[in-house]
Amino acid sequence: MNALAQDPVRSVVQSVDWLAVAPPALAALGALAVLVADLFLPERRKPLLGPVTVAVLALAALALLPLMDGDRTTFCLTADPAVCSYVADPFALAVQFLVLGAALIAALLSMTTVRDEALPGGEYWFLLLASAAGAALLPAARDLATLIVALEVASLPSFALVGLRRADGRSSEAALKFFLSSVTATAVSLMGVSFVYAATGSLHLDRIAERLRETAPGLETLAATGVALTLVGFAFKTAAVPFHSWVPETYVGAPLPVAAYLSVIGKAVGFSGLILVTVEAFPSYGHVWGPALAVLAALTMTVGNVAALRQRPERARSAVRLLAWSSVGQAGYLLVPIAAAAYADEPGRAVGATVAYALMYAAVNLGAFAVAAHVGRSAAANRITDYRGLYAAHPLAALALAFFLLCLAGLPPGIIGLFAKVAVLSTAVDAGLGWLAAVMAVNVVIALYYYLAWTAQIFRAPAHAPAHIPAADTRVRVAAPLTAAIALTGLLAVGLSGAPQFALRFAADVLL
């Protein structure tokens, strides 16, 4: 009789690799520290919680460096150490880097917003860190229970962040819509997980993959239904049609840094979860999720781009609405390689294009939101027409926004956007999904119009001479955190455009 059988206590005790779990653990501990500090700090000291949050996120991101020397696993079954619930592999590290870096940029954007809009700082920073901890946990999760828990830890604080403008009815309405649609999707996913567990007897992704290949004849319908329902929650997080209705109202009603956070980290959470459950857990059901995701990709990019095309430039908050609908269209592009993975001989390399595209999208979309936050300080309505003559008033911010929009459009000098779109298109062509590649090509052309129309506004002559801003009100023009956010995203976007092969090679090597 072995030692585990002789000692029943040891048979259920799992060892923990604290270094492997350090990135999400540091974010979670930082959230608790900020919450406690908010109780005891005097009011005049509470603005310090913003820099503390930025420092915590930077520390969590730096904690990824020691993990780059090889895969690390923890929370493994004592009876089978090869089956683990947490794996710090290159895929997890890549998405964690994206999540924590994006959260850091969102925190920089938030420092000015929290002060200008008198938001409750302690609550805001706690919720941001808590959500980032859940988002960093999800890509390393390797069982369905941990995936769902991480998804909800990332989502629940987001609802509160959206509704944190307590005196603004739009904010409360947006938070309620976001919450109701999200919990409905989660309930459907939980039902799917229960069906998958009933059919396979396991929640670990690798064991599910093995047992789904040999499903008993009487359980095939149950397993297929479970696979379909499990994907619903992750499709909601990606803002895929028809689970996209929450996006425009939520982005408009939320504080602008929260909208920026959701546009990037919400997608990172959804797509990383979707990749794990499809490629890792359900590869034998590619005939179910492959065609479904291909149709979702086509619908999502078309609905998002057509809706963005219809935005009226003079409408209040039209800049934010356009970015919201653009993010829906971009979600369609991100779905293409995942759908192609169902037909590819090497699905890991196919969905690597999603990682490359997500990296490009995170940098440039956060940058666009940063410039929108900058403009919104002096033009609260944030109409697209408010950007007319931006180059004359703020040339550096204007050049940055123009570059971000050209990257999203996939036009030079935004080379990284062009390369990322070509990589996504090639996965569809290689998988035999020529019709999906054609739909994407048409949508890229549609998107060119509204991105270029906005870019043209930036360089048009001002409709009237810009009003002089008194010296006492220079804070409207100068905000160090906003400047830092624009500079960081601009440098990253320019760097990626200068060496696009880095992102593509990096993505080809990260997955599975």
Q: At what angle do helices 480-498 and 90-116 cross, to 10 degrees?
A: 150
- Per the model's pLDDT, the better-predicted residue between 205 and 350 turns out to be 205
pLDDT at position 337 is 92
Residue type, 32: L
DSSP 386-434: GGTTHHHH-HHHHHHHHHHHHHHHT-TT-HHHHHHHHHHHHHHHHTT-H
Angstrom CA distances, 260 to 1, 250, 297, 315, stand at 57, 11, 22, 20
**Which residues make Cβ contacts (< 8 Å) with residue 390, sequence separation at least 6?**
375, 397, 398, 401, 457, 458
Residue 13 pLDDT exceeds 70: no
Q: What is the mean pLDDT of residues 419-428?
A: 88
Task: Indicate whether 451 pLDDT > 60.
Answer: yes
pLDDT at 464: 62
Cα–Cα distance between 411 and 448 in angstroms, integer?
Answer: 9
Q: How far apart are CA 288 and CA 332, in angstroms?
A: 18
- Read out DSSP for 40-65? HS-GGGGGGHHHHHHHHHHHHHHTTG
Give the span between the Cα atoms of 116 and 221, in whole angstroms. 55
What is the value of pTM for the model shown? 0.90
Q: Measured between alpha carbons, how far is 277 from 291 in angstroms, rounded to an integer? A: 16
Q: Burial level of 508, CB count in 10 A (0-12/13-18/19+)?
A: middle
> Mean per-residue pLDDT for 196-219?
87
Q: What is the pLDDT of residues 285-316, one digit of tens each?
A: 888 889 999 999 999 999 999 999 998 888 88
pLDDT > 70: percent of the chain:
92
Residues 294 and 437 sit within 8 Å (Cβ to Cβ) = no
CA dist 352 and 346 (Å) reads 10
Residue reference for tokens 């998107």 = 447
The pLDDT of residue 32 is 94
Q: What letters, b where the CB count within 10 A reaches 16 and e where it falls short, cover 151-160?
A: bbbbbbbbbb
- Residues 151, 157: Cα–Cα separation, whole Å: 11
User: In DSSP terms, which residues pair with 72 in a beta bridge?
Assistant: 88
Q: How far apart are CA 341 and CA 289, in angstroms?
A: 10
Q: Taking residues 359-379, what's their average pLDDT? A: 89
Question: What angle do the packed helices 415-430 and 434-459 form, to 10 degrees?
Answer: 170
pLDDT of residue 478: 52
Structure letter (DSSP) for residue 199: H
pLDDT value at residue 106: 94
Q: What does the DSSP 8-state code read for residue 262?
A: I
At residue 10, does pLDDT exceed 60? no
Q: Report d(CA 200, CA 244) in Å as an integer.
A: 31
Q: What Rg do the C-alpha atoms of the chain give, in angstroms?
A: 23
By residue count, the chain amounts to 512
Model pLDDT, residue 173:
86
Dihedral sign (CA 131, 132, 134, 139)? positive
Mean of the per-residue pLDDT values of the chain: 85
